[in-house]
A = this chain, B = another copy of it.
Amino acid sequence: MKEKDQEKTTRERIFEAAVMLFAQKGYHGTSMRDLARAVGLKESSLYNHFPGKSSLLEAVLAYQLEGFQAASALMEEMEETGPVFNDPVELWIAGAGAFMEKLPPLTETIGLILHNEMFLDDQCGRFVLHELFRVRKELTEKLLRRMHAQGLIRYCDFTKTAAQYVHMLHGLEMENRLRRLEGAGVEELQARLMEQIVHFIDGLRNKEN
């Protein structure tokens, strides 16, 4: 159903332009006039596709939620059929990479919008707290427990260690986004991300191996 539909609908073009503008100038800093100019339409035409400005933000949130849930579902599916690792770092890197590849294209940009809006918009705040903290910590803890059961990592407080990992990832993501705005290269930032993840998992390695 995506083969013959090469061109984007007007609604999609408006949505994508809104995502870019919200990420760049903030939700409050973006006017319907800005958006109309970016899409190449008149302001009034936007209202044929979205009932108002706030509905655009809701659509952005819905997109992100769907993306995360679809990626998570694919991960669970793959978990049973995927390869078996006997090294914790290799396992982790492969899993994290697979998950990120499954996320929709606008996910990273919308992540920036959520960061900007999480303390100003209730819905954004709840989304970040639930999807980006609670759910991720639970998944991480489950994975750590399984790795320990397989003898890949040593024993530790898995709940606190999972929290530590998720918090570190958020802090690192924050710094990398700031560095990107200051002109840092994407591959350099990706390398830093990997380095820190490896350092974390490596610290949990079972020394008896």
Which residues of chain A have a CB within 8 Å of any CB of chain B? Answer: 23, 25-26, 28-29, 112, 115-116, 118-120, 125-126, 128-129, 133, 156-157, 160-161, 163-164, 166-172, 174-175, 177-179, 181-182, 195-196, 199-200, 203
Contact = CB atoms under 8 A, between A and B. Distances in A.
A147 to B, nearest CB: 17
A26 B169 CA distance: 25
A120 B22 CA distance: 10
B170 A120 contact: no
Contacts of A203: 156, 203
12 contacts: A26-B26, A29-B120, A115-B119, A129-B178, A129-B179, A156-B203, A164-B200, A167-B170, A170-B175, A171-B171, A174-B174, A203-B203
A115 B120 CA distance: 11
Q: Which of A26, A133, A179 has the most CB of B within 10 A?
A: A26
